[in-house]
Chains A and B, each alone.
Chain A
Amino acid sequence: MQKPRIRWHIAVFLAPAVLIYTSVMIFPLFNTLRLALFQKVDQERVYVGLENFRTLFFDPTWSEQFWNALANNFWFFLIHMLVQNPIGIALAALLSHPRLRFAALYRSAIFIPTILSFVIVGFAWKLILSPIWGIAPSMMDAVGLKSLFAPWLGKEEYALTTLAMVSVWQFVGIPMMLIYAALLSIPEEMLEAGEIDGVTGIAAFWKIKLPLILPSIGIISILTFVANFNAFDLIYAAQGALAGPDFSTDILGTFMYRTFFGFQLQLGDPHMGSAIAGAMFAIILVGVCLYLFGIQSRMRRYQL
């Protein structure tokens, strides 16, 4: 038996990536979860166990904000699932039509909002929807719907939905592209076989294509879930850290930011901030696990 020599080059190849990934991502992640178990008492860090989470979930001063942010976040996610993904799928279905002209042009143009930063998107829509500038009201006037106009971003009952729609507008390109790719990979013979059986047009979409792209729809759903529960930038750019009006657009990301850094008179609290991060981590983890074990493993993979 020859003693295996140590292959140093493997270590050299792996070291930089593993080092940076571990020290800047994995270690801080666990350190944040650890910090959530402490609290500052008289300038000293004291271990308090799950006390911060108890405060977050049940103490009225905190829990009201937390459950509000969580509920808002679910609403935000729901709108993405119900509006963004169906529109994305519909656009992809149109674009993948075999003899459609200018498909590449449409595709590139519809993807443009996705590449813009949240700051641009947030402000641009804020200006367009602003009653001062009047673009939105005068456009609605032109189609006779002026009475429906309201300063949506300033009204508690509409602001969150409006921002969710802005976010949908921005990100519709991602489900569109992924579904488009999935639709293109469906072999022509399958569609022709359907055609012989008289399944064409819209029926072909529902009966043949949709079942085949279900795995991709699963992927978009989980991507949407993770992105939404980790969102922050758009709300912050459009409504500021206070997520106004009266916290009606507050989601977990803005709540964590406010708690961590403080705002106005409230001082920043890194330990409570960590506790919120811990809650976000748990939610995302549950979502990802549900997807991996509940949905993906049961989904039938068609051999294409």
Chain B
Amino acid sequence: MNSARSNPISTVAMHGVLILYTLIALFPVFVILINSFKTRKKIFREPLALPDAESFSLVGYQTVLKQGDFFLYFQNSFIVTVGSLTLILLFGAMAAFALSEYRFRGNMIMGLYLALGIMIPIRIGTVAILDMMVSTGLVNTLWALILVYTAQGLPLAVFILSEFMRQVSDDLKSAGRIDGLSEYTIFFKLVLPLVRPAMATVAVFNMIPIWNDLWFPLILAPAEETKTLTLGSQVFIGQFVTDWNAVLSALSMAILPVLVLYVIFSRQLIRGITSGAVK
């Protein structure tokens, strides 16, 4: 049906442009990854060559593993990300249920109040957030980060989830109420399982910014034992700036977990964006 709209020349041209841009997008990542496996000499002499038997070297990775506590950083990032996502999803879904299911005075205003945070970045309040974390003793703990990311993620989560919860059939909930289920049971047993796809979308949206954030780890939790992977690699690379093997290896080690997560969740992420969840 679309024969009028495509001819071989334009198809080739389209692929050409897309391949070119794909190369631009992937080239830096590729260069970093291949050079992290090469000896220092080869990194400089043949930066674009793939590592072979002669130029292969893991010396950079050895430095990284010896000098930086990357497993600890990784663990911290993991705890912060999973902790924040859990709270965002649980509390966000609860609030979204309250707003979409019940009619009560102030419903509208509460919804608008929670939506304010979608557009206003939480970083503006950093000075007072640090003040508060210092006075509550939460500074340099992972809790500080988890709380901040939860607050940051809740507005969009409530917004998206309440849109989806409005679509859950009323008959189902009425049937539950007739059977004498409590409101809590209805929420956890009936509604939550039905909005799982929306929850996954919210989780994927929040995951990457939280994992990659540099600002709050730098300000709220810069201590050695609470460094996240992003901050840890930033500090490590800053110290080893002349050791190219170590820098390239540290970069590769920081790229890898995100890339793995992306491969696992990319379909979810893309479906989430393209289904119009951010409109």
- On B, residues with C-beta under 8 Å from A are 1-2, 4-6, 10-11, 14-15, 17-19, 21-22, 24-26, 28-29, 31-32, 43-44, 47-48, 87, 90-92, 94-95, 97-99, 102, 104, 110, 114, 116-117, 119-129, 131-132, 147-148, 150-152, 154-155, 158, 182-184, 187, 208, 211-215, 218-219, 230, 233-234, 237, 244, 247-248, 251, 254-255, 258-259, 261-262, 266, 269-270, 273-276, 278-279
Q: Contact at A185–B121, with CB atoms within 8 Å?
A: no
Dominant SS among interface residues on chain B = helix
Tell me if A66 is interfacial: C-beta within 8 Å of chain B: no
CA distance A124 to B28 in the complex (A): 6
Given contacts A14-B98, A284-B120, contact A120 B147 (CB under 8 A): no
Residues of A contacting B208 with CB < 8 Å? 114-115
- On A, residues with C-beta under 8 Å from B are 7, 9-10, 12-14, 16-18, 20-21, 23-29, 31-32, 35, 87, 91, 94-95, 97-100, 102, 104, 106-121, 123-125, 127-128, 133-135, 138, 169, 172, 177-178, 180-181, 184-185, 192, 195, 200-201, 204, 219, 222, 226, 230, 232-233, 236-237, 253, 256, 260-261, 270, 273-274, 277, 280-281, 284-285, 288
Residues of A contacting B158 with CB < 8 Å? 17
Residues of A contacting B262 with CB < 8 Å? 112, 115
Q: Which A residue sits closest to B211, measured CB to CB?
A: A117
Task: Give the tally of cross-chain contacts (CB within 8 A).
Answer: 256
Q: Which B residue sits closest to A223, measured CB to CB?
A: B278
Q: Contact at A13–B187, with CB atoms within 8 Å?
A: yes
Q: Contact at B91–A110, with CB atoms within 8 Å?
A: no
Which 5 pairs across A and B sit closest by C-beta, in order of nearness?
Answer: A28-B125, A117-B212, A31-B128, A17-B95, A13-B98
CA distance A119 to B231 in the complex (A): 8
Show 24 residue pairs from A and B whose CB-CB distance is below 8 angstroms, ordered by the A residue.
Answer: A10-B104, A12-B184, A25-B117, A29-B122, A31-B131, A32-B125, A106-B19, A112-B25, A115-B258, A118-B212, A119-B212, A119-B230, A119-B233, A119-B234, A120-B254, A128-B28, A133-B43, A135-B47, A195-B5, A200-B5, A219-B278, A232-B123, A273-B127, A284-B124
